[in-house]
């Protein structure tokens, strides 16, 4: 290609930006790397030591003839024209512009071809292309490129890390990355002025509890510029227990705000964006000139209060209702219940009050000593830890850690309404991370809302079937219970397939519902009281209704025993996660979707995941 190619990045370039430019120069041989004008402390250190190898040219050093013949611009680690410093003078109509960026948002560069991937490091995007083209690197080149990935992923410790970052690093290591050089640049010690600033920030740190999130805001004033302020923000994040940290450092009339978060779920970029800054969900910053720091701080606190942080609470993750046993229940019978239901512990109830709890692990130990006929009250602990219905994940975790317990009971209005185990908490943290995929970070937006589901049903189902579902919801409400469309019918709707067989779960009594249904419809309806099921054949459709249940088998029995259970437990009987979705079709709540086992996420990913190890055998 005739003409000149230049590579640009943002001012205040970090190692990821420098590494991206160098990797791009290997992708586009003969291209010229343009100095960004300003560098952060690590990048400045790198350029001062290895400047001859990097071969970066300043804009003023370029001959006019060279500038006039520029016909292609490669932009890395940004897509914002205003962040390009002196390099933005090259941005003109008719010049080919290719952008490699891992930040969210749209580009304002004219007619740019964007290669955008939300990886932990921007360098990873370009390294992938080097892998595809089978570019050969020297050990030094591989190390130089690896530095950017190591820095922007926090040496693979940040929540933004993706599998692609690991794959890129594996490729680079095949050429001999020097960990001695990596350590030299990525393990910096704080200087005296930096330590002083960190101490002042700690002295002026204030913590807030907002929507279940722990947020720390610290401010400090400095008389002279101190390099590496972003490093100090990172160090502060390591020292305190917070979900989000903001530091405000004022020099004269100017203020530098840096935001850091412990999780992708806590998007500090959205808050920094309101000040005209930028960055990532977990790391963002802005430099504000000539504005009173008190006003800035007040606006920051207001924006934090207005932000939608993900709030998963006990009520969202608990198992309910709680299965309890009498203190007189034998160890043997308690073990049967635990195995049958897959629980790890059982609360003991006496006269309507919880008087103790016993774990499966304790019961297993007791059974080794042939004491299986003893009552559980002899071995249960009377110490029961409880949390509130509205406690958030951090509060639940704190209760477990502080009291060294594997499960907590959930109370609402002084009544036990649920139980949460360690595994429930771990699953909740996974769900919380997945919530970041949605524009809103509230729990309800992790799934389609009622209006979206209702519209989907109207689109996929015939008018007659849709009306029939509405009728089912009315009848269920009249009988004082809820009705849910479950399983394959919902899966089929999401892939735009019609289903002639539909399964429904009633929250209380399918037989009572069936009797009322029989009065309202003229169809082939059969009620089976012994199994709590109802079957309706209507206009070529087959509808099955069951009471929410759990099933288990006694020894040597081929017929399952049935107990009433919650919707969550009923759905656990399914084979694959994509078949565990449920939609409430009860009047007034029509269209509300429930996903206890990650089925919606798997459906979007086109993943078939077994719900339990026997799924294939039982099916």
What is the per-residue pLDDT across 243-280, written as a single tens digit (0 to 9) for each? Answer: 899 999 999 999 999 999 877 667 888 899 999 888 87
- How many other CB atoms sit within 10 Å of the CB of residue 523? 14
Residue 504: pLDDT over 90: yes
Q: For the domain with range 4-186, which CATH number is right: 3.40.50.2300, 3.90.1640.10, 3.40.630.30, 3.40.50.2000?
A: 3.90.1640.10
Q: Is the pLDDT of residue 614 over 60?
A: no
Cα–Cα dist 110/24, whole Å = 20
The H-assigned helical ranges of 342-487 are: 360-368, 393-403, 422-434, 450-460, 463-478
pLDDT tens for 565-610 read 888 888 888 888 899 999 999 988 899 898 888 888 788 878 888 8
Kind plus residue range of the DSSP H or E element containing 606? none
The partner residues of 501 in beta bridges, in order of sequence, read 542
Using only C-alpha atoms, what is the Rg of the chain?
30
For residue 157, give the 3-state DSSP assignment.
coil
Average pLDDT in the 462-475 region? 92
Exposed/middle/buried for residue 237 (C-beta within 10 Å: 0-12, 13-18, 19+): buried
Classify domain 192-306 at the CATH class level: alpha beta
The reported pTM is 0.54
Mean pLDDT of the chain, nearest integer: 86
Arithmetic mean of pLDDT, 432-448:
46
When pLDDT is cut at 50, 70 and 90, the band that residue 442 belongs to is very low
Q: Where in the chain is the domain with CATH 3.30.460.10?
A: 447-618
For CATH 3.10.310.30, the residue range(s) in the chain are 192-306
Kindly report, residue by residue over 107-129, the tens digit of the pLDDT.
Answer: 888 888 989 998 999 999 999 99
**C-alpha to C-alpha distance for 495 and 211, rounded to whole angstroms:** 36
388: alpha, beta or left? (left if phi > 0; alpha if psi -120 to 50): beta
165 touches 120 (CB < 8 A): yes
The answer to whether the CB of 130 falls within 8 A of the CB of 153 is no
* pLDDT at position 184 over 80: yes
- What residues are paired with 561 via a beta bridge? 552
| Highest-scoring range by mean pLDDT, 135-149, 207-221, 316-330, 391-405 | 135-149
Collapse the DSSP code of 436 into the 3-class scheme (helix H, G, I; strand E, B; otherwise coil) and give the result.
helix
> Which residues in the chain are classed under CATH 3.90.1640.10?
4-186
Please compute the mean of the pLDDT values over residues 513-536 and round it to a whole number: 86
Instruction: Please state whether beta strands 70-76 and 4-8 pair in parallel, antiparallel, or not at all (unpaired).
Output: parallel
Q: pLDDT band for 559, please (50, 70, 90 cuts).
A: low
Which pLDDT score is estimated for 120? 92
**pLDDT of the residue at 152:** 92
Residue 523's alpha-carbon distances to 395, 468, 539, in angstroms, are 52, 12, 8
Indicate the CATH number of 314-435 among 3.30.70.20, 3.10.580.10, 2.30.42.10, 3.30.930.10: 3.10.580.10
- CATH code: domain 447-618 is 3.30.460.10
């Amino acid at each position: 290609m005739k003409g000149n190619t230049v590579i640009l990045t943002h001012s205040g370039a970090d190692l990821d930006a420098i590494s991206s430019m160098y990797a791009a120069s290997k992708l586009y041989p003969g291209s010229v790397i343009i100095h960004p004008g300003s560098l952060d402390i690590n990048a400045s250190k790198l350029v001062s030591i290895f400047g001859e190898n990097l071969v970066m040219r300043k804009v003023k050093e370029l001959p006019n003839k060279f500038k006039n013949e520029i016909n292609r611009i490669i932009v890395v680690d940004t897509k914002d024209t205003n962040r390009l410093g002196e390099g933005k003078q090259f941005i003109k109509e008719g010049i080919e512009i290719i952008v490699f960026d891992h930040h969210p948002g749209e580009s304002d560069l004219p007619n740019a071809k964007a290669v955008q991937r939300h990886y932990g490091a921007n360098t990873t995007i370009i390294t992938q292309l080097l892998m595809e083209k089978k570019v050969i690197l020297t050990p030094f080149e591989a190390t130089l490129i690896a530095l950017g990935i190591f820095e922007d992923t926090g040496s693979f410790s940040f929540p933004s890390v993706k599998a692609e970052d690991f794959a890129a690093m594996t490729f680079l290591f095949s050429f001999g990355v020097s960990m001695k050089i990596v350590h030299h640049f990525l393990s910096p010690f704080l200087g005296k002025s930096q330590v002083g600033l960190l101490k002042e920030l700690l002295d002026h740190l204030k913590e807030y509890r907002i929507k279940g999130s722990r947020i720390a805001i610290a401010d400090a004033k400095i008389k002279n510029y101190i390099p590496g302020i972003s490093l100090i923000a990172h160090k502060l994040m390591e020292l305190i227990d917070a979900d989000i940290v903001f530091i405000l450092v004022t020099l004269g009339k100017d203020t530098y705000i840096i935001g850091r978060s412990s999780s992708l779920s806590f998007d500090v970029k959205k808050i920094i964006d309101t000040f005209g800054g930028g960055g990532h969900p977990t790391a963002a910053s802005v430099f504000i000139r000539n504005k009173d720091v008190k006003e800035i701080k007040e606006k920051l606190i207001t924006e934090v209060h207005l932000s939608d942080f993900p709030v998963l609470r006990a009520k969202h993750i608990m198992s309910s209702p709680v299965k309890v046993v009498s203190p007189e229940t034998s160890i043997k019978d308690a073990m049967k219940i635990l195995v049958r239901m897959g629980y790890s512990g059982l609360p003991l109830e006496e006269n309507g009050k919880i008087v103790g709890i016993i774990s499966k692990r304790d019961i297993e130990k007791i059974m080794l000593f042939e004491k299986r006929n003893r009552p559980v009250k002899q071995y249960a602990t009377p110490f029961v830890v409880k949390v509130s219905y509205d406690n958030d994940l951090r509060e639940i975790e704190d209760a477990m850690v502080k009291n060294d317990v594997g499960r907590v009971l959930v109370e609402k209005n002084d009544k036990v309404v649920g139980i949460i185990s360690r595994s429930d908490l771990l699953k909740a943290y996974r769900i919380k991370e997945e919530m970041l995929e949605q524009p809103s970070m509230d729990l309800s937006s992790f799934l389609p809302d009622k209006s979206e589901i209702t519209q989907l049903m109207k689109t996929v189902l015939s008018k007659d079937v849709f009306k029939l579902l509405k009728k089912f919801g009315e009848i269920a409400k009249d009988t004082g219970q809820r009705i849910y469309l479950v399983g394959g019918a919902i899966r089929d709707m999401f892939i735009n397939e019609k289903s002639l067989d539909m399964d429904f779960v009633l929250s209380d009594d399918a037989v009572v519902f069936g009797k009322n249904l029989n009065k309202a419809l003229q169809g082939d309806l059969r009620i089976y009281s012994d199994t709590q099921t109802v079957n309706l054949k209507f206009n070529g459709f087959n509808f099955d209704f069951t009471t929410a249940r759990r099933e288990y088998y006694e020894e040597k029995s081929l017929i399952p025993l049935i107990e009433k259970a919650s919707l969550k437990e009923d759905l656990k009987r399914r084979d694959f996660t994509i078949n565990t979705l449920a939609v409430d079709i009860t009047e007034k709540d029509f269209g509300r979707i429930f996903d206890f086992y990650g089925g919606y996420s798997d459906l979007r990913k086109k993943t078939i995941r077994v719900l339990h190890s026997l799924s294939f055998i039982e099916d």
